């Protein structure tokens, strides 16, 4: 029986280096929670996790300095991510730099698809990696996996049941009308399924304040997720949009980072003691160009950044900036323009979930992230 | 009149339009569908004032006035310049008015297919209203670039859309300058690739064409020079911003003069075989099926190529495909289509459609309120790729909740005389036996109306 400590401390690496060890399949996820935040639009890793110790950085980005907090003597973190920094210092957050999926064509649409289905190059799988992961775990029920979006997000689409919800929604129809709707939809599986989800979530006496509601905020979403994770949910995904800073990056990033930081802060607070058993990952489809363009912004790039946070990191590699820094010299850039990706973001995600749930390398590479190499030259959590 | 229509006509009206309600001459054959389309009104009276020129010029004039009065930027932020600080609020009011008018134009249109095509192309050439300047240009974009070209050629439509001021702002072309152009050198400005990329990725050949990063950069360079002349209120070519040189896009060398090369490159892209496939696939995806087959794409793109991108011929070929003409129910109505279709059946008087409701931060007419509640605000697609086309996304638990909530408020507004024979008028032969029996057992009039609007047959097409 491998202890939790072993699993998390480089023990995950040991798991994959030692042949023959196969942790039992589908072991109960028990109390572990996983939250995936998709930062849509391609966040500029270089601007947010700044390689201050690399002389090339100032050459590329200019001398303008921004308030940062030290991470490890080489990298600095923009101060807007105050919660993340506090967690980092407390060894409950970790950052991986210069990562990317195997995808190289810089299209948001495709890049996000790759990030969500978990593979590129072969046949596109049916559904997202988080749905496939849920298939390997012992579900607590139909609300085990939660997709917080107004439609079905790719990362959780697939054959395993997923609950799709958005905070503050409730139905105005009476119980009688609901019964009629059940009859109306009995020959339409899609509508019947959606109606069933609605019925589970609403009760007849819930009053909807209607169109006068204020807009849903990141705080609302995070609170909602934490609430669900206190109940039957164990996997959750939501998005933060707007990272595509082709122009006025200096003016636009602070507000975006504040959203991300708010999400982490609310999750930590609302999860309470369950934070110790939680892993939050925030990832993006790719990074951005190393140089600014003509409009005070950056264009689509390649190598980017991955954030991890949660109590589960404390016994592993919390409080570190991982990855292999490629440098920022002209010949170090990818295609002469982007931060060079030196590791596959999926190997960190894959190793993390393998360690959390006691899954084998085969299970990850066959089912969750097809084709991923969790090999020994990648540092894992 | 509804009683005389065949099931085929009912199905086609839903598949290609917004249902038979309000349809002046429902088509019962593909040929008739296109004939009616060709004589559809291009710009209804309601949209005649939705113009970009005057609005762009007005902003320019206000800026000039402020400068003349010696207002610095810092002062502008604190004080109210002459005429107050209208820009932000006026743009929002323009946007709300434009959305309301566009929606009602679709409700009032005698030919639903024309309006569906306007929305289809508007989605294909997405501009998003969230950028402050685009707010009051998205409506005019649809009126000026899309509507007049729906029944022309794809090349005409592409050129009009890509070079319209709204698109130039939305995708940062107005900020793109050739690095070696006169202004590029003078002011140290450079290229912005956003529009170049999206022209290839979304508007023409699509990702499947495997164009390279060099193609993107070349296309962006070919487009340089194009910007907005605010004083004139329109898009212009400014040679001082144009990157000198010759560029190759997708293997084709662009050799024309600087002021003609963008249009020539766009025309060449319109003729590229990958564009035919990309557009064919999108038409099939929107009108016919969540999963277009290679065979269908091949067939339709063949017509596209042979006709030189003649859109009515392409639409005819699309409608004539048996699985398209007879495939009712395989697609789901988007929120916009749902609201328009429902309002067409309700025939509400202007006093009602203009009534304001409280939105998330401002009041708005109930028409737009409906779309806001369903989170499909006009010209607000989440990315340049446009709105989703999949049934599961529109009829998700969240989507269905929003629809059902709106239905329950709408049915209270339907006049008594419009409620009579509602099921037959709205669904006719499309209604399944199950739907008929459930609606018949409704406990009151409003519930009956609601069940028709909630039915699978009304939410699908």
Q: Quick: pLDDT tens for A14-26.
A: 322 222 222 222 2
Q: What is the mean pLDDT of residues A37-59?
A: 95
Concatenated DSSP letters of B3-62 = GG--HHHHHHHHHHSS-STT-SS--SSHHHHHHHHHTS-SS-GGGTT--HHHHHHHHHHH
A20 contacts: CB under 8 Å, gap ≥ 6: none
A272-331 residues touching B, CB cutoff 8 A: 293-295, 299-300
Tens of pLDDT, residue by residue over A307-324, are: 999 999 987 888 999 999
Residue B390 has pLDDT above 90, yes or no: no
| Predicted local confidence at residue B386, as pLDDT | 74
Residue A340's pLDDT band (cuts 50, 70, 90): very high
Listed range (A156-160, A265-269, B237-241) with the worst mean pLDDT: A156-160
B405 contacts: CB under 8 Å, gap ≥ 6: A171, A172, A173, A208, A210, B373
Shortest Cα–Cα distance, A69 to chain B (Å):
31
Tens of pLDDT, residue by residue over B203-215, are: 999 988 889 999 9
**Count of helices and strands (H, E) across chain A:** 13, 12
Q: Return the structure tokens found at B48.
A: 């005649």
CA–CA gap between residue B313 and residue B299 (Å, rounded)? 13
Phi/psi of residue B357, nearest 5 degrees = -125, 165
Q: Are B18 and B338 in contact (CB under 8 A)?
A: no
**A105 contacts in chain B (CB < 8 Å):** 207
Residue B72 has pLDDT above 70, yes or no: no
Tens of pLDDT, residue by residue over A146-175, are: 999 866 688 998 888 888 887 766 666 666
Q: What is the mean pLDDT of residues B401-420?
A: 86
**B375 contacts in chain A (CB < 8 Å):** 150
Q: For chain A, what is the mean pLDDT?
A: 84
List the beta bridge partners of residue B254.
B247
Q: What is the mean pLDDT of residues B394-415?
A: 88
- Cβ distance A211 to B358 less than 8 Å, yes or no, reads yes
A232-251 residues touching B, CB cutoff 8 A: 241, 246-247
| Predicted local confidence at residue A27, as pLDDT | 29
Residue B442's pLDDT band (cuts 50, 70, 90): confident
Q: Are B100 and B365 in contact (CB under 8 A)?
A: yes
CA–CA gap between residue B234 and residue A83 (Å, rounded)? 47
Hey, how many other C-beta atoms are within 10 angstroms of the C-beta on B80? 9
In order of A29, B274, B279, the CA distances from B153 in angstroms are 57, 16, 12
Q: What is the mean pLDDT of residues B417-425?
A: 87
Interface A–B counts its CB contacts (< 8 A) at 143
- Cβ distance B175 to A150 less than 8 Å, yes or no, reads no
Q: Nearest Cβ partner of B456 from A107, A150, A188?
A: A188
The structure's pTM equals 0.77
Q: Kindly state whether B435 is in contact with chain A, defined as any CB-CB distance less than 8 angstroms.
A: yes
Q: Kindly state whether A194 is in contact with chain B, defined as any CB-CB distance less than 8 angstroms.
A: yes
Q: What is the mean pLDDT of residues A185-208?
A: 75
**A211 contacts in chain B (CB < 8 Å):** 357-360, 369, 372-373
Shortest Cα–Cα distance, B170 to chain A (Å):
11
A174-193 residues touching B, CB cutoff 8 A: 176-177, 180-181, 183-188, 190-191
B46-105 residues touching A, CB cutoff 8 A: none
| Predicted local confidence at residue B79, as pLDDT | 56
- Cβ distance A106 to B213 less than 8 Å, yes or no, reads yes
Q: Closest-CA residue in chain B for A154?
A: B393
Residue A1 has pLDDT above 50, yes or no: no
**Among candidates A1, A133, A16, A97, which has minimal Cα distance to A341?**
A97
Q: For chain B, what is the mean pLDDT?
A: 90
**A195 contacts in chain B (CB < 8 Å):** 397, 400
Residue A380's pLDDT band (cuts 50, 70, 90): very low
Tens of pLDDT, residue by residue over A213-224, are: 345 688 889 999
Q: What is the mean pLDDT of residues B26-39?
A: 97
Residue with tokens 């399944």: B432
Q: Which residues of B420-431 are buried (b: 16+ CB within 10 A; e: fewer)?
A: eebbebbbbebb
Tens of pLDDT, residue by residue over B292-337, are: 999 999 999 999 999 999 999 999 999 999 999 999 999 999 999 9
B419 contacts: CB under 8 Å, gap ≥ 6: B445, B448, B449
| Predicted local confidence at residue B361, as pLDDT | 57
Hey, how many other C-beta atoms are within 10 angstroms of the C-beta on A138? 13
**A294 contacts in chain B (CB < 8 Å):** 175-177, 179, 184, 189-192
Q: Return the structure tokens found at B218.
A: 């070349």
Residue A10 has pLDDT above 50, yes or no: no
| Predicted local confidence at residue A7, as pLDDT | 33
Residue B373's pLDDT band (cuts 50, 70, 90): confident
CA–CA gap between residue A365 and residue A125 (Å, rounded)? 13
CA–CA gap between residue A4 and residue A352 (Å, rounded)? 12
CA–CA gap between residue A226 and residue A229 (Å, rounded)? 5
Residue B359's pLDDT band (cuts 50, 70, 90): low
Q: Kindly state whether B451 is in contact with chain A, defined as any CB-CB distance less than 8 angstroms.
A: yes
Q: Report chain B's C-alpha Rg in angstroms.
A: 24
**A106 contacts in chain B (CB < 8 Å):** 213
Q: Considering Cα of A94, then A98, then A103, then A105, what sign does the dihedral take? A: positive
Q: What is the mean pLDDT of residues B195-207?
A: 94
B181 contacts: CB under 8 Å, gap ≥ 6: B224, B225, B240, B241, B242, B243, B244
Residue with tokens 């007879």: B326
Q: What is the mean pLDDT of residues A42-71?
A: 92
Phi/psi of residue A103, nearest 5 degrees = -80, 140
Region of B70 please: left (phi>0), alpha (psi -120 to 50) or beta: left
**Among candidates A319, A329, A376, A298, which has minimal Cα distance to A44?**
A298
Residue A191 has pLDDT above 60, yes or no: yes
Q: Kindly state whether A169 is in contact with chain B, defined as any CB-CB distance less than 8 angstroms.
A: yes
**A201 contacts in chain B (CB < 8 Å):** 397
- Cβ distance A106 to B177 less than 8 Å, yes or no, reads no
Q: What is the mean pLDDT of residues B279-298?
A: 95
Residue A8's pLDDT band (cuts 50, 70, 90): very low
Q: Closest-CA residue in chain A for B178?
A: A294
Residue A376's pLDDT band (cuts 50, 70, 90): low
């Amino acid at each position: 029986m491998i202890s939790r400590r072993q699993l998390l401390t480089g023990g995950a690496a040991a798991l994959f280096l030692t042949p023959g060890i196969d942790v039992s399949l589908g072991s109960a996820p028990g109390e572990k929670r996983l939250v995936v935040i998709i930062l849509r639009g391609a966040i500029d890793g270089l601007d947010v996790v700044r390689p201050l110790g690399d002389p090339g950085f100032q050459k590329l980005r200019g001398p303008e300095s921004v308030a940062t907090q030290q991470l490890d003597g080489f990298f600095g973190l923009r101060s807007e991510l105050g919660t993340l920094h506090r967690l980092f210092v407390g060894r409950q957050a970790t950052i991986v730099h210069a990562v990317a999926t195997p995808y190289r064509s810089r299209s948001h649409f495709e890049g996000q698809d790759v990030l969500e289905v978990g593979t590129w190059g072969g046949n596109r799988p049916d559904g997202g990696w988080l749905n496939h992961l849920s298939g390997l775990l012992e579900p607590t029920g139909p609300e085990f996996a939660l997709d917080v979006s107004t439609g079905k997000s790719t990362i959780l689409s697939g054959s395993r049941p997923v609950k799709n919800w958005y905070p503050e929604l409730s139905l105005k129809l009476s119980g009688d009308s609901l019964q009629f709707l059940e009859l109306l939809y009995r020959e339409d599986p899609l509508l019947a399924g959606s109606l069933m989800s609605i019925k589970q979530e609403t009760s007849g006496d819930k009053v909807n304040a209607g169109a006068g509601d204020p807009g849903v905020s990141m705080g609302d979403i995070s609170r909602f997720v934490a609430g669900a994770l206190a109940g039957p949910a164990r996997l959750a995904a939501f998005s933060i949009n707007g990272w595509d800073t082709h122009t006025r990056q200096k003016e636009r990033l602070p507000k975006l980072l504040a959203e991300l930081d708010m999400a982490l802060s609310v999750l930590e607070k609302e999860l309470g003691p369950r934070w110790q058993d939680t892993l939050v990952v925030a990832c993006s489809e790719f990074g951005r160009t190393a140089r600014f363009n003509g409009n005070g912004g950056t264009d689509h790039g390649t190598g980017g950044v991955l954030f991890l946070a949660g109590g589960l990191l404390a016994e592993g590699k919390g409080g570190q900036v991982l990855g292999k820094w490629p440098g920022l010299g002209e010949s170090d850039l990818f295609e002469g323009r982007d931060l060079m990706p030196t590791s596959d973001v999926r190997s960190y995600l894959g190793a993390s979930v393998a360690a959390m749930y006691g899954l084998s390398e085969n299970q990850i590479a066959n089912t969750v992230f097809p084709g991923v190499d969790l090999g020994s030259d990648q540092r894992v959590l | 009149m509804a009683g005389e229509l065949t099931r085929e006509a009912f199905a086609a009206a839903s598949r290609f339009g917004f249902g038979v309600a309000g349809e002046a001459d429902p088509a019962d054959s593909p040929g008739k569908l296109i004939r009616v389309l060709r004589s559809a009104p291009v710009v209804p009276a309601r949209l005649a004032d939705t113009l970009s020129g005057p609005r762009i010029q007005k902003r320019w004039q206000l800026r000039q006035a402020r400068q003349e009065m010696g207002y610095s930027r810092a002062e502008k932020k604190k004080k109210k310049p002459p005429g107050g600080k209208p820009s932000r609020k006026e743009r929002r009011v323009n946007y709300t008015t434009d959305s309301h008018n566009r929606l009602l134009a679709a409700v009032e249109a005698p030919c639903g297919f024309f309006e569906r095509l306007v929305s289809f192309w508007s989605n294909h050439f997405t501009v998003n209203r969230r950028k402050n300047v685009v707010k009051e240009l998205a409506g005019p974009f649809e009126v000026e670039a899309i509507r007049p070209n729906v029944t022309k050629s794809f090349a005409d439509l592409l050129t009009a859309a890509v070079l319209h001021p709204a698109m130039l702002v939305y995708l940062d072309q107005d900020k793109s300058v050739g690095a070696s152009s006169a202004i590029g050198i003078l002011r140290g400005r450079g290229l912005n690739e956003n529009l170049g990329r999206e022209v290839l990725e979304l508007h023409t050949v699509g990702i499947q064409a495997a164009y390279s990063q060099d193609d993107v950069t070349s296309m962006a360079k070919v487009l340089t020079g194009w910007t907005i002349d605010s004083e004139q209120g329109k898009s212009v070519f400014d040679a001082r911003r144009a990157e000198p040189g010759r560029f190759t896009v997708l293997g084709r060398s662009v050799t024309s003069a600087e002021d003609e090369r963008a249009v020539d490159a766009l025309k060449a892209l319109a003729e590229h075989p990958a564009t035919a496939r990309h557009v064919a696939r999108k038409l099939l995806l929107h009108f016919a099926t969540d999963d277009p087959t290679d065979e269908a794409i091949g067939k339709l793109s063949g017509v596209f190529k042979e006709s030189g991108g003649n859109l009515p011929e392409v639409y005819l070929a699309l409608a004539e495909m048996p699985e398209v003409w007879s495939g009712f129910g395989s697609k789901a109505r988007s929120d916009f289509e749902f609201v328009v279709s429902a309002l067409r059946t309700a025939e509400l008087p202007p006093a009602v459609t203009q009534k304001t409701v409280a939105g998330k931060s401002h009041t708005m007419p109930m028409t737009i309120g409906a779309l806001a509640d369903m989170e499909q605000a006009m010209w607000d697609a989440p990315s340049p790729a446009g709105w989703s086309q999949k049934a599961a996304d529109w009829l998700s638990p969240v989507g269905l909740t929003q629809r059902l909530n709106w239905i329950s408020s709408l049915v209270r507004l339907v006049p008594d005389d419009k409620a009579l024979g509602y099921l037959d008028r709205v669904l006719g032969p499309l209604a399944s036996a199950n739907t008929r029996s459930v609606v018949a057992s409704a406990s009151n009039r409003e519930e009956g109306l609601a069940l028709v609007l909630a039915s699978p047959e009304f939410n699908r097409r």
